[in-house]
Structure 1
Amino acid sequence: MPTEASIAADLRSLGCPEGGTLLVHASLASMGAVPGGAPTVVRALLAALGPDGTLVVPSFTPGNSLTSPMYASRTRGMTDRQLRAYHDTMEPFRTLSTPSQGMGRIAEEVRCTRGARRSGHPQTSFAALGSRAQWITAQHARDCLLGERSPLGRLYELGAHILLLGVGFDVCTAFHLAEYRPPGCTRRYDCKVMLDGTPGWVSFVDVDLHDEDFGRLGGWLETRSSDDGRVARGRIGDAESRLLPLRWAVDAAVEWMNLNRTAGPHPGPRSGSDWLSP
């Protein structure tokens, strides 16, 4: 049964950088029965990083968006009248209190931990704990979901590492940074936020992001790393896990996308913009 001490030891054996910065994507269920659950895992991650380290997680909120797969799934088949009613009941994004959605219990535990900092993007925020948390999460530009002016850009500058704890490359958020180098096709994004204390809508244009091929990209990365061992593999608790340098992964992803992605827009979820109240 994994304990806080054994999880921290597993992290160090995998190569978790003491004093470094770690972007974590994690599945608590994959680790087995962890006494204390997500708080135990977060404490173990912080222990492995040490007092000078920084722990970062995605704290995304697709539920307040008109352009997310979650929105498309929830509104499929609705009439215009039903869509307007649905829009009225959508919760606006609040940096300090809106829960993350679909990011897992470990990510949500980081967001809720005392001292955590969170970036202010209404769709793709990140939460962080540690010595560099404030710098990483500050000034997340609204029209830069996951690019240079987002926490991913800061993590690239810092030479952070990525930990995939019990999850695959298909959820590796850092790959999105490669889509900005150079920027691909753009699209409009719409989401509900607080405007001067009142719920309202904002729209912006940014790169048309998609992750359908991230699994293939990750497989290529692992093959590429077989010569130099850039992707470390091991178990954390019962979870098959990978640790890799973020900067190397992003640079390699740019190369792979240039070779494997065709030019032009990619199909995405239906936008609800046409049904926004005037």
Structure 2
Amino acid sequence: MSNLTAAQRVKIARMPGRPGTMDFVHNLFTDVFVCQGDRLCREDPSIYGAIARFHGKPVTVIGHRKGRNFEENMKCNFGMPSPEGYRKAQRLMRQAEKFGRPIITFVDTPGAYPGLEAEERGQGEAIASSLALMSSLTVPVVTVVIGEGGSGGALALAVGNRIVMLENAIYSVLSPEGFASILWKDASRADEAAGVMKLTADDLYRLGVVDQVIPEPEGGAHVDPRPVYAAVDKAITRHLSQLSREKDLAAHRYQKFRAMGAVREEKET
């Protein structure tokens, strides 16, 4: 891995030109059939959902979407989903469960939208229901963290049997700015906060939170995304093959998350 600081990786993870969910969909999948709406309220463009083929086999693809320009950013709420987005994701997960399709999710969000209207429509419940549903799925779930992975808004699509993370992606309980504001009452210390939050791919791999780190070209995936697409393709293929031999995928997922954060205490002699 390159010798970048955590703060530098945060900046790369947030770069507008970085490959997003739609780029991975266009380069990894075929016969894509886009699914919209939560069947309760409305369509939320910040969550992308589709049925597609991955090397000829049907899969369900779900991911956060930020947009490529200001107009798309506004339409996708800068990648901050509302409850409708998570309920759409749940609808597609249940459909995948019914038809036995593996689920592949792409995580890239600063967090769920915290606005009053989202709370009024049940933001907390929608995220909690997504976590509960993903925990119980009996089909394979592979998650790829491609940019920002912020708080419950990211975790709602990331309860996977395998979690893959790009080298310059980040994944944390909140943003470095939020961390600095809470701990030190000073958001300007965000770079310092990033250094202590253990939010980089390398940190999370060593802590057992992610299962694989995908290298990026020097400067970030946007410099030359082709080898990144190829590496993610290879990783998903390998993990799906391995998971196909698991007898109880829900139990496998449960044990994986229960083991996170476990601390072994050394006995004094």
The TM-score normalised by the length of structure 1 is 0.32
Query: RCO (CA 8 Å, sep 6+): is it higher in 1 or 2?
Result: 1
More helix by share: 2
